[in-house]
């Protein structure tokens, strides 16, 4: 079976920066605009203030009421993003048959809000009258199922739960399925909605969340900065339409970018502490898969979350892979603006990488006023940079559990 070229033909985003137009979202990121805010909540008399990057959207009128009743927030965002991606790829306006299209989706937890609702019913209301639909609302593959049902997709419906690498792995596996001739078209991406009381308390217990910066909440996620002190959680969904060259040619459309490489590895080290060796393996595997010399890469969308250890280790891994060329690569962490979307992070960041190639514009690392000497590469502080000759870009996703995934795209 010969290998097929694989193209990105559509992008749909429900993100902290907006939910309607991927290009407008990219423009906000390019300007260094942060969507991070301080949100105060109270449950059972317990008050907490959390730095988060929420996605504001309204599914009413966009999703049938009967389907909406069976959807957790995480599935609502996934379906809305998939709808946008299909429209962006011109697959909704011309009655294209989607019966053989697959859905490959990444999700770290599933219906987190429904889990919280169940516990509230049991332990606060002291009732066993849990919603009958709780299991289908919670299960991680519900989002993929809803997209399949809504669009009558007959291809494989796959869900990957690999923490922060979930949606990068979903895209990578979809890429392989098309490249190797098993599928012609896949909706690939991720979704996550974990900004509820219980989830935030659990993350807080890990002592990895950022503290509010004196400049304001918006400036609290500071990857590569000397004064970084943790990550900020976000939520949202990002979906991309992947198609074979044959389908792109038959539809006579202009793709956004070509996917050319995917690498995955395991640190085999620690559930929460990253290891440079595993990250190095994933990047090298992606470069070999893409048949690229390391010197070809012009931009890296870094995983960098804003933790002291994680950012430093990723820079170390980049230096090991790219040697002297590392100094010439533009690197940025857009998490500084949209926060960490966990299972959806890789898909959002790869979508941003694709748009960077398409537009010849590289988004920045916001709030990088005091670069850490241990992260002393070209990390594009504050605002974006024009790069009209940018041809190859790489996106890193390095997850809890030691799971690493790297995607490489090429400008078309």
Could you list the active site residues? 164, 303, 340
Distance CA 237, CA 139 (A): 16
Contact assessment for residue 394 and residue 274, using Cβ atoms and an 8 Å cutoff: no
List, in order, residues 6 or more apart from 82 with CB less than 8 Å away.
12, 103, 147, 150, 151, 187, 189, 237, 239
Distance CA 343, CA 161 (A): 7
Distance CA 387, CA 393 (A): 12
Beta strands 6-14 and 236-244, pairing class = antiparallel
* Both structure tokens of 356: 């960077």
Beta strands 361-362 and 385-386, pairing class = antiparallel
In 3D, which of 107, 112, 79, 103 has the Cα closest to residue 190? 107
* Both structure tokens of 321: 């892979």
Residue 378 backbone zone (phi > 0: left; psi -120 to 50: alpha; other: beta): beta
In 3D, which of 226, 203, 237 has the Cα closest to residue 51? 203
How many other C-beta atoms lie within 10 A of the C-beta of residue 61? 8
In 3D, which of 82, 405, 20, 33 has the Cα closest to residue 240? 82
């Amino acid at each position: 079976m010969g290998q097929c070229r694989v193209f990105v033909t559509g992008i749909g985003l429900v993100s902290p920066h907006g939910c309607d137009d991927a290009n407008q979202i990219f423009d906000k990121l390019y300007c260094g605009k942060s969507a991070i805010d301080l949100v105060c909540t109270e449950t059972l008399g317990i008050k907490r203030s959390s730095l988060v990057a929420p996605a504001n959207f309204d599914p009413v009128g966009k999703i049938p009421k009967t389907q909406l009743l069976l959807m957790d927030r995480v599935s609502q965002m996934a379906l809305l993003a998939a709808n946008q991606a299909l429209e962006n790829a011109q697959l909704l306006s011309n009655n294209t048959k989607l019966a053989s299209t697959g859905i490959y989706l990444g999700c770290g937890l599933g219906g987190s809000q429904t889990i919280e609702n169940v516990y509230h019913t049991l332990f606060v209301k002291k009732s066993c009258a849990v919603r009958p639909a709780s299991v289908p609302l919670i299960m991680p593959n519900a989002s993929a199922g809803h997209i399949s049902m809504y669009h009558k997709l007959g291809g494989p419906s796959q869900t990957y739960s690999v923490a922060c690498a979930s949606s990068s792995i979903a895209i990578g596996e979809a890429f392989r399925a098309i490249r190797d001739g098993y599928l012609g078209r896949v909706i690939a991406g991720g979704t996550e909605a974990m900004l509820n009381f219980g989830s935030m308390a659990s993350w807080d217990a890990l002592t990895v969340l950022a503290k509010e910066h004196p400049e304001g909440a918006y400036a609290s996620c500071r990857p590569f900065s000397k004064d970084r002190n943790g990550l900020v959680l976000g939520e949202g969904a990002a979906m991309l339409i992947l198609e074979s060259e044959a389908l792109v040619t038959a539809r006579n459309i202009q793709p956004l970018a070509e996917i050319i490489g995917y690498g995955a590895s395991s640190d085999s080290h620690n559930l929460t502490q990253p290891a440079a060796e595993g990250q190095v393996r994933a990047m090298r595997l992606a470069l070999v898969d893409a048949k690229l010399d390391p010197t070809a890469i012009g931009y890296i969308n870094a995983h960098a979350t804003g933790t002291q250890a994680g950012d430093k280790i990723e820079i170390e891994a980049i230096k090991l892979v790219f040697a002297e060329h590392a100094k010439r690569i533009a690197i940025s962490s857009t998490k500084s603006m949209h926060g960490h979307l966990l299972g959806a992070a890789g898909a959002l960041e790869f979508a941003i990488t694709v748009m960077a190639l398409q537009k010849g514009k590289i988004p920045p690392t916001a709030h990088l006023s005091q670069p850490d000497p241990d992260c002393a590469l070209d990390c594009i502080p504050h605002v974006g940079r024009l790069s009209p000759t940018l041809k190859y870009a790489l996106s890193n996703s390095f997850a809890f559990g030691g799971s690493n995934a790297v995607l490489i795209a090429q400008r078309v």
